[in-house]
């Protein structure tokens, strides 16, 4: 199969060479995560499903790939001043862990309503936490202040070519582990994960389908695709706390051009899919990570003739960091 020559670094900031470079750079540090299958879930979905278990990644989520690539791309002068980011959870922990491996400071701005389990992960990995109000303006203002005081390098959670390249290594592994895959379903929020996956997968196989899975209560990507420009929501409301960000200037062009569709699902569908991951796959997944399964089981996927040839579907289980009490309350409320 001929590679896709239209995916260039000049066009998207990232290409297959930068993703393969990231794979070499992060290989000594990451886990090559397994791919699980389930006959029961195949029967339910009427497809053969391949679950890429990034919940088993270091730090408990895919974010470690991008963070590791960013940290180990820094020169010594940059690294000595440390890194800074703002994040509600998985990126914060991933950056703290990667910085700890390189023995440099990580300054992390976290909104004061972030899940406790994700805050504890940052503390565990020696991240230096500063709390902000749960607004983007507060997060960015606090981050800028830290940069001015320390000289630390900003590592954005998703709008960064080093991050996107690192996340793209998931697709390199997945298509090596299950080359028969014709469709990949990926959670979408800020777009770093799906951008990396789409750029890598469509460089290798231009005909592969890339579908985004998004909560109905945070459906800015679906609205953006429909409008042909970035749409930002005044507020979001979803149990999937990792899927509340807006698309960035680097991720939007990839989503616009290379993501074939966005499937939106209700929170109840996300909770039910999370339950199935526990009960059938025997895997601990956070709601944000289970949304791909919710999408493939949804009526909008199952009854859409556009996806009738999607018979071998890769699903990225993006993370497994969650407050079990919140999930338990949601399950009991069904």
| Catalytic residue ranges | 63, 88
Q: Please name the residues in contact with 139: beta carbons below 8 A apart, sequence gap of 6 or more.
A: 86, 109, 111, 132, 133
Can you tell me which residue has the tokens 């998703």? 158
Backbone dihedral angles phi then psi of residue 186, each to the nearest 5 degrees? -130, 135
Q: Please name the residues in contact with 195: beta carbons below 8 A apart, sequence gap of 6 or more.
A: 12, 14, 158, 164, 167, 168, 250, 251, 254, 255, 258
Please name every residue paired with 317 in a beta bridge, in sequence order, or none if there are none: 53
State the Cα torsion 252-258-261-263 to the nearest 10°: -60
Q: Is 82 left (phi over 0), alpha (psi -120 to 50) or beta?
A: left
Distance CA 85, CA 162 (A): 14
Scored b (16 or more CB within 10 A) or e, 146-163 reads bbeeeebbbbbbbbbbbb
DSSP letter at 245 equals -
Question: Nearest to residue 259, comparing CAs of 305, 318, 191?
Answer: 191
Q: Is 63 left (phi over 0), alpha (psi -120 to 50) or beta?
A: alpha
CB atoms within 10 A of CB 193: 32
């Amino acid at each position: 199969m001929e590679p896709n020559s239209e995916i260039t670094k000049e066009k998207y900031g990232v290409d297959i060479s930068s993703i393969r470079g990231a794979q070499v750079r992060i290989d000594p540090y990451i886990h090559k995560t397994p791919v699980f299958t389930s006959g029961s879930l195949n029967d339910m979905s009427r497809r053969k499903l391949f679950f890429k278990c990034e919940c088993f990644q270091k730090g408990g989520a895919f974010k470690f790939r991008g963070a590791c690539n960013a940290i180990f791309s820094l020169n010594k002068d940059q690294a000595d001043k440390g890194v800074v980011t703002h994040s509600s959870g998985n990126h914060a922990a991933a950056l703290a862990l990667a910085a700890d491996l390189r023995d440099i400071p990580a300054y992390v701005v976290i909104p004061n309503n972030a899940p406790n389990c994700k805050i504890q992960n940052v503390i565990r990995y020696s991240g230096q936490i500063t709390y902000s109000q749960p607004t983007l303006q507060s997060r960015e203002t606090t981050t800028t202040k830290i940069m001015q005081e320390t000289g630390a390098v900003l590592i954005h959670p998703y709008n960064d070519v080093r991050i996107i390249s690192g996340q793209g290594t998931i697709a390199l592994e997945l298509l090596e582990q299950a080359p028969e895959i014709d469709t990949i379903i990926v959670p979408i929020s800020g777009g770093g994960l799906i951008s990396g996956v789409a750029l890598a997968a469509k460089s290798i196989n231009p005909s592969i389908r890339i579908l985004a899975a998004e909560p109905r209560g945070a459906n800015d990507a679906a609205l953006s695709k429909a409008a042909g420009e970035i749409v930002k929501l005044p507020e979001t409301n979803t149990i999937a706390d990792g899927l509340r960000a807006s698309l960035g200037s680097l991720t939007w062009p990839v989503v616009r051009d290379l993501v074939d569709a966005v499937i939106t699902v209700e929170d109840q569908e996300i909770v039910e899919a999370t339950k199935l991951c526990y009960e059938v796959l025997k895997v601990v997944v956070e709601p944000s990570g289970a949304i791909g399964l919710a999408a493939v089981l949804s009526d909008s996927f199952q009854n859409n003739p556009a996806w009738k040839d999607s018979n071998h579907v890769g699903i990225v289980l993006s993370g497994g960091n969650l407050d079990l009490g919140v999930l338990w309350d949601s399950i009991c409320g069904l």
